[in-house]
Amino acid sequence: MSHIHFPDGVLPVWLWASGFIVAIVIGAVLFRLTKKETLPKRLPLLGMMAAIMVLGASFEIVPIAYHVNLTVISGILLGPSLIFLATFVVNVILALFGHGGITVIGLNTLALSIEGILGYFLFRLFWRVLKRLTPATFLATFIALLFSTFAMIGVVSMGTSHYEELIHQEGKGIFEFHLSKEKGGHHPGEAAEEKVNLRRFMAIVLPLGFIGWILEGVITSLICRYIFRLRPDLLHLEKETL
């Protein structure tokens, strides 16, 4: 749900450009912090986890048009610095297939990496406190998704004035172009109605998001349990308790 499915040309340039700058700065800092010897060794794993995230995003759960991100489980397996690079790569590939615009890659990386990084730290925290794998994974996923969805809503709300400008710019541009509507024929009430309705947007996103957070929380917990049964070493947990 936290993935911004905005096409190119909808968000204001300052917003997506700053998204790219922040993502590149964070990426560069994390890249510096990662040991030079470990990165080439872990790149195939990063590629594989990124590919799993891409595949997860391409399977839609039909009635609510939701797809799992698998960012939290990837964050748990890759660690906080590699998950950032992985989400960057995932967003590039998803953008190539029209899953969000190319210009939105930076913002999407920030929103998705919040999920992965927060998921990693919350999972460690809840594991230490609860000592139970399923609730620790579920809570970590649920909270991480909640935060990243609000980050996405924050991004969408920052571009409100730009969408309004797009809605009300009929006839402007290189060619004069009018649709059937007459210019200046708006009533005051009509103008208010034509404004971008963020409340309506949130009213759609949050209930769907809530279902999605629970669904992804359950799926991630079950995946974690499956991995724990077969390859517990991948989770790097101290005590083996379910």
Partner 1 sequence: MIQLSYLDYIAVERKSFLHRLSPKLKIIGMILVLFVIVTVKNLPGLFLLYVILLTLFFTARIPAKIFSLTLYPLIFTILFIFLSGFQIFFILLIFLKVLCGSTGVVLLLASTPYPSIFSALGRVLPSSFVMALFLTYRSIFILLTVLEDTQHALYLRGGVQWKHPWRSLINIANAFGHLIIKGIDASEKMYESMVLRGFRDKIHYRRE
Residues 118-137 that bind partner 1 (CB under 8 A): none
| Those residues with Cβ within 8 angstroms of residue 196's Cβ, 6 or more apart along the chain or in another chain | 160, 163, 164, 167
**DSSP class per residue in 109-160:** HHHHHHHHHHHHHHHHHHHHHH--HHHHHHHHHHHHHHHHHHHHHHHHHHTH
Q: Which is nearer to partner 1, 59 or 128 (CB)?
A: 59
Contact yes or no for 151/137 (Cβ under 8 A): no
CA–CA gap between residue 86 and residue 112 (Å, rounded): 10
* Residues between 149 and 188 with contacts to partner 1, criterion CB under 8 A: 163, 166-167, 169-170, 172-175, 177, 179, 181
What does the buried/exposed string (b/e) look like for 164-183 if buried means 16 or more CB atoms within 10 Å of the residue's CB?
A: eeeeeeeeeeeeeeeeeeee
Smallest gap, in angstroms, from Cβ of residue 126 to partner 1?
A: 19
* Residues between 88 and 107 with contacts to partner 1, criterion CB under 8 A: 88-90, 92-93, 95-103
Smallest gap, in angstroms, from Cβ of residue 46 to partner 1?
A: 6
Q: Which is nearer to partner 1, 43 or 125 (CB)?
A: 43
Q: Which is nearer to partner 1, 158 or 166 (CB)?
A: 166
* Residues between 201 and 220 with contacts to partner 1, criterion CB under 8 A: 201, 204-205, 215, 218-219
Give the range of 48-56, 110-118, 126-134, 147-155 binding partner 1 by CB under 8 A. Answer: 48-56
